[in-house]
Chain A
Amino acid sequence: MAHPYAPTGRGVRSRSVLWLGLSLAFPLALLIAGRWGWTEPLAQAASVALRPLQQGMSSLVQPVTGFLDSLQRAGDLSRENEYLRDQVGRLTSEVIRLRETEIENIRLREQLNFVGSQSLGPLLPAAIIARDPSNLIKSVLINRGTDHGVRSGAVVLASGSLVGKVLQAYPGSAKVVLITDPSFSVNALIQRSDSRATGIATGEGSEGLMLRYLPREEDILKDDVVITSGLGGNFPKGLVIGAVTEVRRSDVELFQEARVRPAASLTRLEELLVLLDFVPSSASPR
């Protein structure tokens, strides 16, 4: 069967151009309206209307996806178990050492009358109800919004590490852009006693980040932990971002860069924590 609704006969070309023009007129108007923020009420209304559907779908598929995830991971479990046992041993000795350091730190702070100890403040638990439909964008929708005190720019954590920030907050939900999204960047720091190199960690659009603008002379090693530096004021200092998996250094470049694997498994995230009290500044990169 040839196309039943295709334009035929004379004037086909002009009609085709007309259809194409008409088809693009509305999206162009939307793009302009979106750029000026005029589509915000529409997005808010849609988020309220779609939320029950997304939440229902999410709770419906959670047992199935949990089962699928466990099937996918079955092969890795024994290797992961061995790795975790090894980690527990190393971390236990690390905790003991850090406890000693903390006691010493408190004692020294008391001696100096230092009043600057900080905590992250209240954390709001939230569940992921939908993921971004596009493969190119790394964002999720959570079931907490302005009704619960969530604001645009709020920092989002999971398992104690940074996973993203709130892009847009609606009454009952919020869009969270993940750290692996290409639009995401954060000032970062290598956490090692002999290297405190700073750079900018940017999402790669796939599963990792790229730490750029690291001074060439700094000695960056594989498995170095990367944390937020707090520079710029968009994120609190000291949040774990991930670990270095690869270092790229060239003789002709001023800077070196490192590929970073996020500390949290972003593809398997189900629950998140939103940092409510931290007020981000708009002075640093997005």
Chain B
Amino acid sequence: MIIALGILFLLGGLLLQGSVLSHLPVLGVRVDLVLLIVLAWSVLRGFPSAIAMAWGGGVLLDLVSGAPFGAHTFTLGLLAPATVLATRHLLTDSLLPALGIALAGTLCYDLVLLLALQASHVPVAWAAAFWSLVVPSAIVNTLAMPLVFVPLLRAAGRAAA
């Protein structure tokens, strides 16, 4: 039941990310809604549903993205357990750890994705990509995290009750 709810969130996030949000760039980038959903879910729910969400979100992204197939699933598959392990001793219903996870998670997500692209023989201009895409993306995602985390926290609480 809770996983079905998560998949619905992911599907909605994917559709919004590929349509509305692409017309609303902030600092030249758009919010990575699917990434934020997976990270927030990992903070709130832990294993094993974090892994299921990482796989679900990754496959959805891979299906619509021009990146090498599996790159998004791999990156989220790495980040979701790392997030669970990093936040296991923290207050998971507090927003502060989620903000830190959004910042660090986005930096890792973009850098691992760039590595995956380079491994697929796509030339990557590291410095330009870091300053013009990765850093703005980390800032924008951190600012957007409350918009994802709070509804998920409420949904998780309601589903648990």
Partner of B64, one of A19, A64, A133: A133
- Bound: A1/B95 CA distance, A: 12
Bound Cα distance A65, B24 (Å):
8
Indicate if the CB atoms of A5 and B45 lie closer than 8 Å. Answer: yes
Tell me, yes or no, whether A43 is within 8 Å of chain B by CB. Answer: yes
B123 touches A182 (CB 8 A): yes
Instruction: Identify the interface centre among A24, A133, A139: most chain B CB within 10 Å of its CB.
Output: A133
A135–B73 Cα distance when bound, in Å, is 16
A149 within 8 A of B: no
Complex partner residue of A182 from B58, B87, B122, CB under 8 angstroms: B122
Across the interface, which residues of A come within 8 angstroms of B66, CB to CB?
Answer: 132, 137-139, 167, 175, 177, 181, 183
- Known interface pairs A61-B19, A133-B18; 5 further A-B residue pairs with C-beta atoms within 8 A, sorted by A's residue number: A19-B47, A28-B74, A57-B16, A130-B18, A177-B66
* Alpha-carbon separation in the docked complex, A202 to B125 (Å): 11
11 contacts between A and B (CB under 8 A): A2-B92, A5-B46, A6-B47, A6-B89, A23-B78, A27-B73, A28-B70, A28-B74, A30-B58, A53-B11, A206-B132
Give A141 to B87 CA distance when docked, in angstroms: 37
Question: What are the residues of chain A within 8 A of B113 when measuring CB–CB?
Answer: 134, 136
Task: From A33-41, A100-108, A224-232, give the one contacting chain B.
Answer: A33-41
Chain B 64-112 residues near chain A, CB threshold 8 A:
64-78, 80-82, 84-85, 87-93, 110
Which residues from B are CB-within-8-Å of A130? 15, 18-19, 64
Residues of chain A with a CB closer than 8 A to B91's CB: 1-2
Smallest CB–CB gap between B31 and chain A, Å? Answer: 9
Contact check, A182 vs B125: say whether CB atoms are below 8 A apart.
yes
Q: State whether the Cβ of B124 lies closer than 8 Å to any Cβ in chain A.
A: yes
In the complex, the answer to whether A34 meets B70 with C-beta atoms within 8 Å is yes
Question: Which A residues from 1 to 48 make CB contacts under 8 A with B?
Answer: 1-7, 16, 19-20, 22-24, 26-28, 30-35, 39, 42-43, 46-47
Cβ of B81 and Cβ of A1 under 8 Å apart? no
In the A-B complex, the 9 residue pairs with the smallest Cβ-Cβ separation, listed nearest first, are A34-B69, A5-B46, A139-B66, A31-B70, A6-B88, A30-B70, A27-B74, A130-B18, A65-B23
Q: Is the CB of B48 within 8 A of A133?
A: no
Please judge, given known A-B contacts A23-B80, A206-B133, whether A135 and B110 are in contact too, CB under 8 Å. Answer: yes
Closest residue of A by beta carbon distance from B29: A135
Chain A, interface size: which category? 35 or more
Q: For the complex formed, measure the closest distance between the CB of B62 and the CB atoms of chain A, giving whole angstroms.
A: 7
Binding site for B on A (CB under 8 A): 1-7, 16, 19-20, 22-24, 26-28, 30-35, 39, 42-43, 46-47, 50, 53-54, 57-58, 61, 64-65, 68-69, 130-139, 141, 167, 175, 177, 181-183, 202, 204-207, 267
Q: With contacts A23-B81, A139-B65 known, is A3 near B88, CB below 8 A?
A: yes
Please indicate the chain B residues that have their CB under 8 angstroms from the CB of A177 in the complex.
Answer: 66
Beyond A35-B68, A132-B65, A137-B66, is A4–B46 a contact (Cβ under 8 Å)? yes
Asked if A137 contacts B123 (CB within 8 A), the reply is no
Instruction: Indicate if the CB atoms of B74 and A47 lie closer than 8 Å.
Output: no
Interface residues of B in 26-52 (CB under 8 A from A): 28-30, 32, 34, 45-49, 51
If A133-B17, A141-B64, A175-B66 touch, whether A31 touches B71 (CB-CB below 8 Å) is yes
User: How far in angstroms is the closest Cβ of chain A from B16?
Assistant: 8
Nearest-CB distance from B98 to chain A (Å)? Answer: 13
- The answer to whether residues A133 and B32 also contact, given A2-B89, A7-B88, A204-B125 and a CB cut-off of 8 A, is yes
How far apart sit A50 and B123, CA to CA, in the bound complex (Å)? 30
CA A212 to CA B140, docked complex, whole Å: 32
Check B125–A1 contact: CB distance below 8 A.
no
- Tell me if A134 and B61 are in contact (CB < 8 A): yes
